[in-house]
Structure 1
Amino acid sequence: MSLAFKNCLRAGIPRRSFVLARFNSCAAPKTPSSPIQQLYDLREIDRLTTSVGKSSPTGVNHPSPLLMRALPAPWLSSSSPDLESQASKDDIPNHRCDDHEAAPLGPKHMSESFTSFDLPLASDAALFDRYVNTSGGFRMGKLLEHLDSLAGAVAYRHCLPPPENGASTAAAFHDASSKAGLYLATASADRLDMFGRLNKDNVRDLKFSGFVTWTGNSSMEVVVKMEGSRPDTADWETLMLGRFAMVCRDSKTHKSRKIPPLIVESEEEKILWAIGDEHQKRRKTRAMNALDKVPPSSEEARELHELMLKVQETKDGKINGQEIVQMKDTEIETVQLMHPQDRNLHGKVFGGILMRLAL
Protein backbone atom coordinates (compact mmCIF):
# COMPACT_ATOMS: atom_id res chain seq x y z
CA MET A 1 0.00 0.00 0.00
CA SER A 2 1.45 3.36 -0.98
CA LEU A 3 2.25 6.07 1.55
CA ALA A 4 -0.64 8.26 0.37
CA PHE A 5 -3.16 5.51 1.11
CA LYS A 6 -1.71 4.91 4.58
CA ASN A 7 -1.87 8.64 5.33
CA CYS A 8 -5.54 8.65 4.33
CA LEU A 9 -6.36 5.81 6.67
CA ARG A 10 -4.40 7.35 9.56
CA ALA A 11 -6.35 10.59 9.01
CA GLY A 12 -9.42 8.79 10.25
CA ILE A 13 -12.13 8.73 7.58
CA PRO A 14 -15.53 8.79 9.34
CA ARG A 15 -17.29 5.46 9.43
CA ARG A 16 -20.40 6.85 7.73
CA SER A 17 -19.36 10.06 6.05
CA PHE A 18 -21.53 11.91 3.55
CA VAL A 19 -18.87 14.52 2.78
CA LEU A 20 -16.12 12.23 1.56
CA ALA A 21 -16.29 13.94 -1.82
CA ARG A 22 -14.66 16.92 -0.13
CA PHE A 23 -12.25 14.97 2.09
CA ASN A 24 -8.87 16.57 1.47
CA SER A 25 -6.35 15.16 3.91
CA CYS A 26 -4.47 12.97 1.40
CA ALA A 27 -1.57 14.80 -0.18
CA ALA A 28 -1.02 13.91 -3.82
CA PRO A 29 2.42 12.40 -4.39
CA LYS A 30 4.92 14.82 -5.91
CA THR A 31 6.76 12.12 -7.87
CA PRO A 32 5.33 9.35 -10.08
CA SER A 33 5.12 5.89 -8.58
CA SER A 34 7.70 3.34 -9.65
CA PRO A 35 6.58 0.56 -12.05
CA ILE A 36 6.74 -1.97 -9.22
CA GLN A 37 4.59 0.26 -6.98
CA GLN A 38 2.12 0.83 -9.81
CA LEU A 39 1.78 -2.92 -10.37
CA TYR A 40 1.27 -3.47 -6.64
CA ASP A 41 -1.40 -0.76 -6.56
CA LEU A 42 -3.18 -2.35 -9.54
CA ARG A 43 -3.23 -5.73 -7.82
CA GLU A 44 -4.55 -4.06 -4.68
CA ILE A 45 -7.31 -2.32 -6.66
CA ASP A 46 -8.18 -5.67 -8.25
CA ARG A 47 -8.46 -7.35 -4.86
CA LEU A 48 -10.52 -4.53 -3.37
CA THR A 49 -12.95 -4.30 -6.28
CA THR A 50 -13.53 -8.05 -6.10
CA SER A 51 -14.31 -7.77 -2.39
CA VAL A 52 -16.74 -4.87 -2.82
CA GLY A 53 -18.37 -6.52 -5.84
CA LYS A 54 -19.08 -9.69 -3.89
CA SER A 55 -20.76 -7.66 -1.14
CA SER A 56 -23.13 -5.93 -3.56
CA PRO A 57 -26.73 -6.92 -2.75
CA THR A 58 -28.23 -4.78 -5.51
CA GLY A 59 -25.77 -5.41 -8.31
CA VAL A 60 -27.37 -6.02 -11.69
CA ASN A 61 -26.02 -8.71 -14.00
CA HIS A 62 -26.89 -8.70 -17.68
CA PRO A 63 -26.59 -11.69 -20.00
CA SER A 64 -25.20 -9.49 -22.79
CA PRO A 65 -23.26 -6.21 -23.17
CA LEU A 66 -25.00 -2.97 -22.30
CA LEU A 67 -25.13 -0.79 -25.41
CA MET A 68 -25.33 2.79 -24.16
CA ARG A 69 -25.99 4.04 -27.66
CA ALA A 70 -28.65 5.27 -30.05
CA LEU A 71 -31.25 7.84 -29.10
CA PRO A 72 -34.63 6.13 -28.70
CA ALA A 73 -36.11 8.84 -30.96
CA PRO A 74 -36.40 8.30 -34.72
CA TRP A 75 -33.40 9.68 -36.61
CA LEU A 76 -35.53 11.85 -38.90
CA SER A 77 -37.31 13.63 -36.07
CA SER A 78 -34.12 14.28 -34.07
CA SER A 79 -32.00 15.51 -36.99
CA SER A 80 -34.59 17.29 -39.17
CA PRO A 81 -37.38 19.12 -37.31
CA ASP A 82 -39.16 19.74 -40.63
CA LEU A 83 -39.69 16.00 -40.98
CA GLU A 84 -41.03 15.56 -37.46
CA SER A 85 -44.55 15.10 -38.79
CA GLN A 86 -43.41 11.90 -40.53
CA ALA A 87 -42.68 10.27 -37.17
CA SER A 88 -45.23 9.17 -34.63
CA LYS A 89 -45.47 11.50 -31.64
CA ASP A 90 -45.60 8.43 -29.40
CA ASP A 91 -42.12 7.38 -30.58
CA ILE A 92 -40.42 10.57 -29.41
CA PRO A 93 -39.34 10.57 -25.74
CA ASN A 94 -40.58 13.27 -23.43
CA HIS A 95 -37.64 15.46 -22.33
CA ARG A 96 -39.66 17.36 -19.72
CA CYS A 97 -37.78 17.86 -16.48
CA ASP A 98 -39.81 18.55 -13.34
CA ASP A 99 -38.19 20.40 -10.44
CA HIS A 100 -38.78 17.58 -8.00
CA GLU A 101 -37.30 15.07 -10.43
CA ALA A 102 -34.22 17.23 -10.93
CA ALA A 103 -33.53 17.38 -7.17
CA PRO A 104 -30.22 15.69 -6.22
CA LEU A 105 -30.37 12.22 -4.72
CA GLY A 106 -29.05 11.30 -1.30
CA PRO A 107 -25.71 9.58 -0.64
CA LYS A 108 -25.17 6.12 -2.07
CA HIS A 109 -22.98 3.11 -1.34
CA MET A 110 -20.37 1.91 -3.81
CA SER A 111 -22.23 -1.37 -4.17
CA GLU A 112 -25.40 0.39 -5.35
CA SER A 113 -23.76 1.26 -8.67
CA PHE A 114 -22.26 -2.22 -9.20
CA THR A 115 -23.12 -3.49 -12.68
CA SER A 116 -21.89 -6.47 -14.66
CA PHE A 117 -22.55 -8.37 -17.86
CA ASP A 118 -21.34 -11.59 -19.45
CA LEU A 119 -19.70 -12.30 -22.79
CA PRO A 120 -19.51 -16.12 -23.15
CA LEU A 121 -17.07 -16.27 -26.06
CA ALA A 122 -15.79 -19.76 -25.28
CA SER A 123 -19.28 -21.18 -24.77
CA ASP A 124 -20.90 -19.54 -27.80
CA ALA A 125 -19.08 -20.07 -31.11
CA ALA A 126 -21.48 -17.81 -33.01
CA LEU A 127 -20.84 -14.98 -30.53
CA PHE A 128 -17.08 -15.51 -30.74
CA ASP A 129 -17.20 -15.04 -34.53
CA ARG A 130 -18.42 -11.47 -33.98
CA TYR A 131 -15.21 -10.63 -32.09
CA VAL A 132 -12.63 -12.20 -34.41
CA ASN A 133 -10.28 -9.96 -36.39
CA THR A 134 -8.67 -10.63 -39.75
CA SER A 135 -5.73 -12.50 -38.20
CA GLY A 136 -7.91 -14.76 -36.08
CA GLY A 137 -7.34 -12.85 -32.84
CA PHE A 138 -9.63 -10.69 -30.75
CA ARG A 139 -11.02 -7.34 -31.81
CA MET A 140 -9.83 -5.59 -28.68
CA GLY A 141 -11.42 -2.35 -29.82
CA LYS A 142 -14.88 -3.88 -29.40
CA LEU A 143 -14.00 -4.95 -25.87
CA LEU A 144 -12.88 -1.39 -25.07
CA GLU A 145 -16.18 -0.17 -26.48
CA HIS A 146 -17.98 -2.46 -24.03
CA LEU A 147 -15.89 -1.10 -21.15
CA ASP A 148 -16.89 2.46 -22.04
CA SER A 149 -20.55 1.42 -22.18
CA LEU A 150 -20.20 -0.26 -18.80
CA ALA A 151 -18.62 2.85 -17.25
CA GLY A 152 -21.53 4.92 -18.55
CA ALA A 153 -24.11 2.50 -17.17
CA VAL A 154 -22.38 2.51 -13.77
CA ALA A 155 -22.31 6.32 -13.68
CA TYR A 156 -25.99 6.60 -14.62
CA ARG A 157 -26.92 4.03 -11.98
CA HIS A 158 -25.14 6.14 -9.36
CA CYS A 159 -26.74 9.45 -10.43
CA LEU A 160 -30.30 8.27 -11.09
CA PRO A 161 -32.98 6.76 -8.87
CA PRO A 162 -33.67 3.04 -9.31
CA PRO A 163 -35.98 2.39 -12.31
CA GLU A 164 -39.60 1.96 -11.30
CA ASN A 165 -40.18 -1.12 -13.43
CA GLY A 166 -36.77 -2.63 -12.73
CA ALA A 167 -35.66 -2.17 -16.34
CA SER A 168 -31.97 -1.55 -16.85
CA THR A 169 -31.62 -0.79 -20.55
CA ALA A 170 -30.27 2.10 -22.57
CA ALA A 171 -33.83 3.31 -23.17
CA ALA A 172 -34.57 3.20 -19.42
CA PHE A 173 -31.42 5.19 -18.62
CA HIS A 174 -32.28 7.73 -21.31
CA ASP A 175 -35.82 8.21 -20.01
CA ALA A 176 -34.67 8.56 -16.39
CA SER A 177 -31.87 11.01 -17.24
CA SER A 178 -34.26 13.10 -19.36
CA LYS A 179 -36.67 13.37 -16.43
CA ALA A 180 -33.80 14.26 -14.09
CA GLY A 181 -32.47 16.85 -16.53
CA LEU A 182 -28.90 15.55 -16.63
CA TYR A 183 -26.48 13.66 -18.82
CA LEU A 184 -23.14 11.96 -18.23
CA ALA A 185 -20.03 11.97 -20.38
CA THR A 186 -16.66 10.26 -20.31
CA ALA A 187 -14.09 12.91 -19.40
CA SER A 188 -11.20 10.51 -19.87
CA ALA A 189 -10.20 6.87 -19.88
CA ASP A 190 -7.42 7.41 -17.36
CA ARG A 191 -5.80 4.01 -17.59
CA LEU A 192 -6.34 0.54 -19.04
CA ASP A 193 -4.06 -2.26 -17.84
CA MET A 194 -3.99 -5.69 -19.47
CA PHE A 195 -2.99 -8.58 -17.19
CA GLY A 196 -3.65 -11.59 -19.43
CA ARG A 197 -3.60 -12.58 -23.07
CA LEU A 198 -6.56 -13.08 -25.38
CA ASN A 199 -6.06 -14.83 -28.71
CA LYS A 200 -7.50 -17.60 -30.87
CA ASP A 201 -5.64 -20.21 -28.81
CA ASN A 202 -6.85 -18.76 -25.51
CA VAL A 203 -10.59 -18.15 -25.93
CA ARG A 204 -12.43 -17.60 -22.66
CA ASP A 205 -15.82 -16.66 -21.35
CA LEU A 206 -15.60 -13.04 -20.26
CA LYS A 207 -17.28 -11.16 -17.43
CA PHE A 208 -17.32 -7.36 -17.21
CA SER A 209 -18.06 -5.48 -13.98
CA GLY A 210 -17.62 -2.04 -12.45
CA PHE A 211 -18.82 0.50 -9.89
CA VAL A 212 -18.15 4.04 -8.66
CA THR A 213 -15.16 4.28 -6.31
CA TRP A 214 -14.81 8.06 -5.86
CA THR A 215 -17.04 11.13 -6.23
CA GLY A 216 -16.45 14.86 -6.34
CA ASN A 217 -19.03 17.60 -6.80
CA SER A 218 -19.86 16.74 -10.41
CA SER A 219 -17.29 14.11 -11.34
CA MET A 220 -16.64 10.52 -10.36
CA GLU A 221 -14.17 7.73 -10.95
CA VAL A 222 -15.48 4.40 -12.21
CA VAL A 223 -13.32 1.29 -11.98
CA VAL A 224 -14.16 -1.42 -14.52
CA LYS A 225 -12.83 -4.93 -14.77
CA MET A 226 -12.76 -7.65 -17.43
CA GLU A 227 -12.35 -11.20 -16.15
CA GLY A 228 -11.82 -14.44 -18.03
CA SER A 229 -12.78 -17.96 -17.04
CA ARG A 230 -9.95 -20.34 -16.19
CA PRO A 231 -9.88 -23.54 -18.25
CA ASP A 232 -11.49 -26.53 -16.52
CA THR A 233 -12.24 -24.55 -13.35
CA ALA A 234 -14.98 -22.34 -12.01
CA ASP A 235 -12.52 -19.56 -11.12
CA TRP A 236 -12.17 -16.22 -12.87
CA GLU A 237 -8.93 -14.40 -13.66
CA THR A 238 -8.65 -10.62 -14.06
CA LEU A 239 -7.56 -9.81 -17.62
CA MET A 240 -8.03 -6.04 -17.74
CA LEU A 241 -8.53 -3.25 -15.23
CA GLY A 242 -9.57 0.25 -16.24
CA ARG A 243 -10.37 3.64 -14.72
CA PHE A 244 -12.80 6.11 -16.28
CA ALA A 245 -13.40 9.70 -15.17
CA MET A 246 -17.06 10.59 -15.71
CA VAL A 247 -18.68 14.02 -15.44
CA CYS A 248 -22.31 15.02 -14.90
CA ARG A 249 -23.85 17.98 -16.73
CA ASP A 250 -27.20 19.75 -16.71
CA SER A 251 -29.10 18.92 -19.90
CA LYS A 252 -30.30 22.53 -20.34
CA THR A 253 -27.37 24.70 -19.26
CA HIS A 254 -24.61 22.09 -19.91
CA LYS A 255 -22.96 23.26 -16.69
CA SER A 256 -21.70 21.05 -13.89
CA ARG A 257 -24.41 19.10 -12.07
CA LYS A 258 -24.00 17.94 -8.49
CA ILE A 259 -23.96 14.17 -8.03
CA PRO A 260 -24.73 11.99 -4.99
CA PRO A 261 -21.73 11.58 -2.65
CA LEU A 262 -20.50 8.15 -1.65
CA ILE A 263 -21.09 6.46 1.69
CA VAL A 264 -17.77 4.90 2.66
CA GLU A 265 -17.92 2.35 5.48
CA SER A 266 -15.75 -0.76 5.07
CA GLU A 267 -11.96 -0.78 5.10
CA GLU A 268 -11.92 -1.80 1.42
CA GLU A 269 -14.17 1.12 0.49
CA LYS A 270 -11.97 3.57 2.40
CA ILE A 271 -8.87 2.45 0.51
CA LEU A 272 -10.64 2.56 -2.87
CA TRP A 273 -11.94 6.06 -2.13
CA ALA A 274 -8.44 7.19 -1.10
CA ILE A 275 -7.00 5.76 -4.33
CA GLY A 276 -9.63 7.61 -6.36
CA ASP A 277 -8.91 10.83 -4.47
CA GLU A 278 -5.21 10.49 -5.25
CA HIS A 279 -6.00 9.93 -8.94
CA GLN A 280 -8.15 13.08 -9.01
CA LYS A 281 -5.34 15.14 -7.51
CA ARG A 282 -2.96 13.78 -10.12
CA ARG A 283 -5.39 14.82 -12.87
CA LYS A 284 -5.64 18.33 -11.41
CA THR A 285 -1.86 18.60 -11.10
CA ARG A 286 -1.37 17.55 -14.73
CA ALA A 287 -4.00 20.04 -15.88
CA MET A 288 -2.46 22.91 -13.92
CA ASN A 289 1.05 22.12 -15.21
CA ALA A 290 0.03 21.75 -18.86
CA LEU A 291 2.09 23.75 -21.35
CA ASP A 292 -0.94 25.76 -22.43
CA LYS A 293 -1.13 27.14 -18.87
CA VAL A 294 2.44 27.38 -17.56
CA PRO A 295 5.79 27.74 -19.37
CA PRO A 296 8.42 24.98 -19.24
CA SER A 297 10.53 24.90 -16.11
CA SER A 298 14.19 25.87 -16.25
CA GLU A 299 15.18 22.21 -16.15
CA GLU A 300 12.80 21.32 -19.00
CA ALA A 301 14.06 24.28 -21.07
CA ARG A 302 17.66 23.17 -20.50
CA GLU A 303 16.90 19.61 -21.62
CA LEU A 304 15.13 20.86 -24.74
CA HIS A 305 18.08 23.13 -25.57
CA GLU A 306 20.56 20.27 -25.14
CA LEU A 307 18.44 18.06 -27.39
CA MET A 308 18.27 20.78 -30.05
CA LEU A 309 22.06 21.13 -30.04
CA LYS A 310 22.53 17.37 -30.38
CA VAL A 311 20.16 17.27 -33.36
CA GLN A 312 21.97 20.15 -35.04
CA GLU A 313 25.37 18.56 -34.51
CA THR A 314 24.48 15.13 -35.86
CA LYS A 315 25.44 14.32 -39.44
CA ASP A 316 23.97 10.86 -39.93
CA GLY A 317 20.54 11.57 -38.43
CA LYS A 318 21.27 9.53 -35.31
CA ILE A 319 21.87 10.24 -31.62
CA ASN A 320 23.74 7.59 -29.61
CA GLY A 321 23.20 5.14 -32.46
CA GLN A 322 19.44 5.67 -32.57
CA GLU A 323 17.71 7.21 -35.57
CA ILE A 324 16.09 10.60 -34.99
CA VAL A 325 12.32 10.63 -35.53
CA GLN A 326 10.78 14.08 -35.83
CA MET A 327 7.55 14.71 -33.97
CA LYS A 328 5.74 15.74 -37.15
CA ASP A 329 6.50 12.33 -38.66
CA THR A 330 4.53 10.60 -35.90
CA GLU A 331 1.34 12.55 -36.55
CA ILE A 332 -1.66 10.49 -37.68
CA GLU A 333 -4.85 12.04 -38.96
CA THR A 334 -8.04 10.33 -40.04
CA VAL A 335 -11.58 11.28 -40.94
CA GLN A 336 -14.38 8.96 -39.84
CA LEU A 337 -18.04 9.23 -40.77
CA MET A 338 -20.31 8.69 -37.79
CA HIS A 339 -23.62 7.01 -38.57
CA PRO A 340 -26.89 7.53 -36.66
CA GLN A 341 -26.29 4.18 -34.93
CA ASP A 342 -23.08 5.61 -33.46
CA ARG A 343 -24.88 8.13 -31.26
CA ASN A 344 -24.87 7.93 -27.50
CA LEU A 345 -27.98 8.36 -25.35
CA HIS A 346 -28.02 12.10 -25.96
CA GLY A 347 -27.35 12.31 -29.67
CA LYS A 348 -23.56 12.84 -29.53
CA VAL A 349 -20.84 10.56 -30.88
CA PHE A 350 -20.50 7.55 -28.58
CA GLY A 351 -17.07 7.62 -26.92
CA GLY A 352 -16.70 3.85 -27.12
CA ILE A 353 -16.77 4.10 -30.92
CA LEU A 354 -13.79 6.46 -30.81
CA MET A 355 -11.90 4.08 -28.51
CA ARG A 356 -12.54 1.18 -30.88
CA LEU A 357 -11.42 3.17 -33.93
CA ALA A 358 -8.30 4.45 -32.16
CA LEU A 359 -6.99 0.99 -31.33
Structure 2
Amino acid sequence: MEPKVCKDSRVTQTILVFPNELNHYQTMFGGSLMAHIDMVATLSAIRHSRTTSVTASTDSVDFLCPITQNDSVCLESYVTWTGKSSMEVFVKVVAEDLFTGERRIATTSFLTFVALDKNKKPVQIPQVIPETEEEKKLHETALDRAKMRKLRKEESKNLASHLTTKKYWDN
Protein backbone atom coordinates (compact mmCIF):
# COMPACT_ATOMS: atom_id res chain seq x y z
CA MET A 1 0.00 0.00 0.00
CA GLU A 2 1.51 3.31 -1.10
CA PRO A 3 1.99 5.90 1.68
CA LYS A 4 0.26 9.26 1.32
CA VAL A 5 1.37 12.74 2.29
CA CYS A 6 -0.55 14.79 4.85
CA LYS A 7 -1.77 17.28 2.27
CA ASP A 8 -3.68 14.51 0.48
CA SER A 9 -6.11 14.51 3.41
CA ARG A 10 -6.17 18.26 4.03
CA VAL A 11 -9.60 19.84 4.40
CA THR A 12 -10.21 23.56 4.89
CA GLN A 13 -13.59 25.02 5.76
CA THR A 14 -14.34 28.63 6.61
CA ILE A 15 -17.54 29.52 8.41
CA LEU A 16 -19.22 32.65 9.67
CA VAL A 17 -20.29 32.79 13.32
CA PHE A 18 -24.05 33.37 13.60
CA PRO A 19 -25.96 34.64 16.66
CA ASN A 20 -27.50 31.21 17.34
CA GLU A 21 -23.97 29.82 17.87
CA LEU A 22 -23.19 32.28 20.68
CA ASN A 23 -23.42 31.55 24.39
CA HIS A 24 -24.37 34.01 27.14
CA TYR A 25 -20.81 35.43 27.04
CA GLN A 26 -21.34 36.27 23.36
CA THR A 27 -18.67 33.79 22.31
CA MET A 28 -19.10 30.69 20.16
CA PHE A 29 -20.55 27.62 21.88
CA GLY A 30 -17.85 25.00 22.32
CA GLY A 31 -20.26 22.26 21.27
CA SER A 32 -21.07 24.03 18.03
CA LEU A 33 -17.37 24.35 17.22
CA MET A 34 -16.83 20.69 18.17
CA ALA A 35 -19.45 19.61 15.62
CA HIS A 36 -17.57 21.53 12.90
CA ILE A 37 -14.29 19.98 14.09
CA ASP A 38 -15.69 16.44 13.86
CA MET A 39 -17.08 17.12 10.39
CA VAL A 40 -13.80 18.31 8.84
CA ALA A 41 -11.83 15.61 10.65
CA THR A 42 -14.17 12.97 9.23
CA LEU A 43 -13.58 14.28 5.72
CA SER A 44 -9.80 14.12 6.25
CA ALA A 45 -10.01 10.55 7.52
CA ILE A 46 -12.08 9.45 4.53
CA ARG A 47 -9.76 11.26 2.09
CA HIS A 48 -6.81 9.42 3.57
CA SER A 49 -8.37 5.96 3.80
CA ARG A 50 -10.79 6.24 0.85
CA THR A 51 -13.28 4.20 2.87
CA THR A 52 -15.84 4.70 5.61
CA SER A 53 -14.12 6.12 8.68
CA VAL A 54 -15.70 6.59 12.07
CA THR A 55 -14.70 8.71 15.04
CA ALA A 56 -13.13 6.44 17.67
CA SER A 57 -12.29 9.26 20.07
CA THR A 58 -11.98 12.96 20.42
CA ASP A 59 -8.63 13.00 22.14
CA SER A 60 -8.48 16.68 22.92
CA VAL A 61 -10.13 19.96 22.16
CA ASP A 62 -8.20 22.89 23.55
CA PHE A 63 -10.00 26.23 23.45
CA LEU A 64 -7.14 28.75 23.40
CA CYS A 65 -9.06 31.99 22.90
CA PRO A 66 -12.70 33.00 22.46
CA ILE A 67 -14.40 33.26 19.08
CA THR A 68 -16.90 36.09 18.66
CA GLN A 69 -19.55 37.05 16.14
CA ASN A 70 -17.03 39.44 14.54
CA ASP A 71 -14.90 36.45 13.57
CA SER A 72 -14.79 34.05 10.71
CA VAL A 73 -13.62 30.58 11.67
CA CYS A 74 -11.26 28.63 9.43
CA LEU A 75 -10.94 24.93 10.28
CA GLU A 76 -8.03 23.05 8.77
CA SER A 77 -7.64 19.31 9.24
CA TYR A 78 -5.37 16.53 8.03
CA VAL A 79 -4.14 13.07 8.99
CA THR A 80 -0.94 13.33 11.05
CA TRP A 81 -0.29 9.70 11.96
CA THR A 82 -1.59 6.24 11.13
CA GLY A 83 -1.66 2.82 12.70
CA LYS A 84 -2.87 -0.31 10.93
CA SER A 85 -6.51 0.80 10.62
CA SER A 86 -6.60 3.90 12.80
CA MET A 87 -5.51 7.43 12.09
CA GLU A 88 -4.94 10.56 14.10
CA VAL A 89 -6.45 13.71 12.61
CA PHE A 90 -5.34 17.18 13.70
CA VAL A 91 -7.71 20.13 13.46
CA LYS A 92 -6.47 23.69 13.74
CA VAL A 93 -9.07 26.42 14.18
CA VAL A 94 -8.04 29.93 13.15
CA ALA A 95 -10.33 32.80 14.10
CA GLU A 96 -10.09 35.97 12.04
CA ASP A 97 -11.57 39.28 13.13
CA LEU A 98 -13.39 40.29 9.98
CA PHE A 99 -13.00 44.02 10.72
CA THR A 100 -9.30 44.14 11.68
CA GLY A 101 -7.94 41.09 9.85
CA GLU A 102 -6.25 39.85 13.04
CA ARG A 103 -5.84 36.04 12.92
CA ARG A 104 -5.23 33.81 15.90
CA ILE A 105 -5.17 30.11 16.69
CA ALA A 106 -8.42 29.71 18.64
CA THR A 107 -8.57 25.94 19.09
CA THR A 108 -6.53 22.83 18.45
CA SER A 109 -7.90 19.32 18.45
CA PHE A 110 -6.84 15.72 17.91
CA LEU A 111 -9.29 13.00 16.96
CA THR A 112 -8.83 9.32 16.21
CA PHE A 113 -10.69 7.54 13.41
CA VAL A 114 -10.93 3.92 12.39
CA ALA A 115 -11.29 2.91 8.74
CA LEU A 116 -13.94 0.26 8.09
CA ASP A 117 -14.72 -2.07 5.22
CA LYS A 118 -18.22 -2.81 3.90
CA ASN A 119 -18.76 -5.31 6.73
CA LYS A 120 -17.91 -2.64 9.33
CA LYS A 121 -14.61 -4.36 10.15
CA PRO A 122 -11.34 -2.41 10.52
CA VAL A 123 -9.36 -2.26 7.30
CA GLN A 124 -5.69 -1.50 6.68
CA ILE A 125 -4.87 2.05 5.57
CA PRO A 126 -1.82 3.72 4.01
CA GLN A 127 0.87 5.23 6.19
CA VAL A 128 1.22 9.01 6.19
CA ILE A 129 4.32 11.03 5.33
CA PRO A 130 4.71 14.53 6.77
CA GLU A 131 6.27 17.25 4.62
CA THR A 132 5.98 20.66 6.32
CA GLU A 133 7.57 21.58 9.65
CA GLU A 134 4.13 21.63 11.30
CA GLU A 135 3.28 18.18 9.91
CA LYS A 136 6.66 16.78 10.98
CA LYS A 137 6.28 18.09 14.53
CA LEU A 138 2.79 16.61 14.86
CA HIS A 139 3.94 13.31 13.35
CA GLU A 140 6.97 12.94 15.62
CA THR A 141 4.89 13.62 18.75
CA ALA A 142 2.01 11.32 17.72
CA LEU A 143 3.26 8.19 19.49
CA ASP A 144 3.17 9.98 22.84
CA ARG A 145 -0.43 11.01 22.18
CA ALA A 146 -1.28 7.44 21.12
CA LYS A 147 0.08 6.11 24.42
CA MET A 148 -1.99 8.66 26.37
CA ARG A 149 -5.06 7.75 24.30
CA LYS A 150 -4.63 4.08 25.15
CA LEU A 151 -4.29 4.86 28.87
CA ARG A 152 -7.37 7.12 28.82
CA LYS A 153 -9.39 4.43 27.08
CA GLU A 154 -8.43 1.84 29.71
CA GLU A 155 -9.33 4.31 32.48
CA SER A 156 -12.68 4.97 30.79
CA LYS A 157 -13.41 1.24 30.53
CA ASN A 158 -12.53 0.79 34.18
CA LEU A 159 -14.76 3.66 35.22
CA ALA A 160 -17.61 2.39 33.03
CA SER A 161 -17.49 -0.96 34.84
CA HIS A 162 -18.54 0.93 38.01
CA LEU A 163 -21.38 2.86 36.39
CA THR A 164 -25.00 1.88 36.17
CA THR A 165 -27.42 2.01 33.25
CA LYS A 166 -30.34 2.08 35.66
CA LYS A 167 -32.58 5.15 35.44
CA TYR A 168 -32.28 7.37 38.49
CA TRP A 169 -36.01 7.12 39.18
CA ASP A 170 -35.89 3.28 39.21
CA ASN A 171 -34.46 3.03 42.72
Q: Determine if the alignment matches structure 1 residue 184 to structure 2 residue 74.
A: no
More helix by share: 1
Q: TM-score, normalised by structure 2?
A: 0.80
Whether the 8 Å contact between 2:63 and 2:106 is mirrored in structure 1 is yes
* Greater C-alpha radius of gyration: 1
Corresponding position of 2:128: 262
Corresponding position of 1:209: 76
- Residue 285 and residue 231 in structure 1: after superposition, are their counterparts in 2 closer, same or farther (change >3 A)? same
Aligned residue runs from structure 1 range 344-359, under 5 A: none
1:274 alignment partner AA: E
Deviation of the 1:149 alpha carbon? 0.6
Deviation of the 1:229 alpha carbon? 1.0
Q: Determine if the alignment matches structure 1 residue 236 to structure 2 residue 103.
A: yes
Q: Determine if the alignment matches structure 1 residue 129 to structure 2 residue 19.
A: yes
Deviation of the 1:261 alpha carbon? 0.7
Q: Determine if the alignment matches structure 1 residue 221 to structure 2 residue 117.
A: no
Whether the 8 Å contact between 2:77 and 2:90 is mirrored in structure 1 is yes
Deviation of the 1:198 alpha carbon? 2.9
CA distance in 1, matches of 2:37, 2:132: 26
Deviation of the 1:148 alpha carbon? 0.7
Q: Could you list the runs of 5+ residues in structure 2 that have no partner in the other structure?
A: none
CA distance in 2, matches of 1:290, 1:136: 33
Q: Determine if the alignment matches structure 1 residue 275 to structure 2 residue 141.
A: yes
Match of 2:4 among 92, 101, 108: 108
2:46 alignment partner AA: Y
Instruction: Find the residue that maps to 1:257 and give its secondary structure.
Output: coil
Corresponding position of 2:36: 146
- Residue 209 and residue 290 in structure 1: after superposition, are their counterparts in 2 closer, same or farther (change >3 A)? closer
CA distance in 2, matches of 1:115, 1:224: 9
Deviation of the 1:133 alpha carbon? 4.8
Q: Could you list the runs of 5+ residues in structure 1 that have no partner in the other structure?
A: 1-104, 122-127, 161-176, 178-182, 294-327, 335-359
Q: TM-score, normalised by structure 1?
A: 0.40
CA distance in 2, matches of 1:269, 1:146: 21
CA distance in 2, matches of 1:139, 1:154: 23
- Residue 251 and residue 227 in structure 1: after superposition, are their counterparts in 2 closer, same or farther (change >3 A)? same
- Residue 206 and residue 264 in structure 1: after superposition, are their counterparts in 2 closer, same or farther (change >3 A)? closer
Deviation of the 1:247 alpha carbon? 0.8
Aligned residue runs from structure 1 range 65-84, under 5 A: none
1:129 alignment partner AA: P
Instruction: Find the residue that maps to 2:114 and give its secondary structure.
Output: strand
Percent identity reads 29
CA distance in 1, matches of 2:115, 2:90: 17
Instruction: Find the residue that maps to 2:65 and give its secondary structure.
Output: coil
Instruction: Find the residue that maps to 2:139 and give its secondary structure.
Output: helix
CA distance in 1, matches of 2:76, 2:132: 20
- Residue 269 and residue 117 in structure 1: after superposition, are their counterparts in 2 closer, same or farther (change >3 A)? closer
Deviation of the 1:144 alpha carbon? 1.2
CA distance in 2, matches of 1:209, 1:229: 13
More strand by share: 2
CA distance in 1, matches of 2:66, 2:25: 15
2:150 alignment partner AA: K
- Residue 192 and residue 218 in structure 1: after superposition, are their counterparts in 2 closer, same or farther (change >3 A)? same
